[in-house]
Structure 1
Amino acid sequence: MPVDRDADPSAWARLLYAGPYDAAITEITAGRPSVVGACSTPSTSNRPTVLELGTGTGWNAALLAHRVGPTGHVTTMEATPTLAANARATLAGAGFTDTTTVVHGDGALGHPDTAPYDRVIATSEIERRVRALLAGLAIEAA
């Protein structure tokens, strides 16, 4: 059910957080059917294997690693080499070396080395090669 965030922010928030959803598309660019942002709802963040696109500081990857626990794993991909290196060091310093893998690369391509994934969380723009990402999921993509 589409809701315009600017026209009705309360309805947008209610729909977004109503769950349980595997993912919620939070923005579409110029009417194109490409995901610009996706929100990890509570039901998304407690799966055993997760691919996160857009590592940034590593904060979200650390939260995800905490949520999936010691038997789960988070692979997080960052396109900017400096951000990937900094996040890798931060996550290691926080004790997440066994539960996270930081990859410098194009998240739109996915990361087959640590696939399959139970969930993919996009905290950055993904517009290209979405099918390659979906192929890395452990569940059947629609």
Structure 2
Amino acid sequence: MTAILLVPGLLCSEEIFAPQLPTLWPHGPVAIANTLAGETMAEIAARILKDAPPRFALAGVSMGGYLAFEILRQAAERVEKLALICTSARPDAPEQTAARRKMLDQARAVGFERFLNLGADALTHPRASRVKTESF
């Protein structure tokens, strides 16, 4: 069985993968990467690799896909399979990196759940139904 490593996107917790876990478990052990340990993509990827199994199937969502590319750069020989979901192969422009850092700083300052509730309107389409984090 192949170990499976899931990498969530920016401001996502492990909860994003909860619906998929029962389907994935029969295929191998599943781990969800910690994307909060490090300041740069290279540092975060190195930390993920430190905690990862020797070989694994890798799936990254959004910013998790950026990290998947960095994991491949650092240790391609450890990745058996790759799934990229809603991500880009292009690096961030400096403005995108600055905006991402600002968002993370704000989330750290007020707390993750409060930040999500305060910022949900900016992250969702106006016609989308709003789900508060407490429902998870």
TM range (shorter): 0.3 to 0.5
Structure number with the higher helix fraction is 2
TM-score for the superposition, normalised by structure 2: 0.36
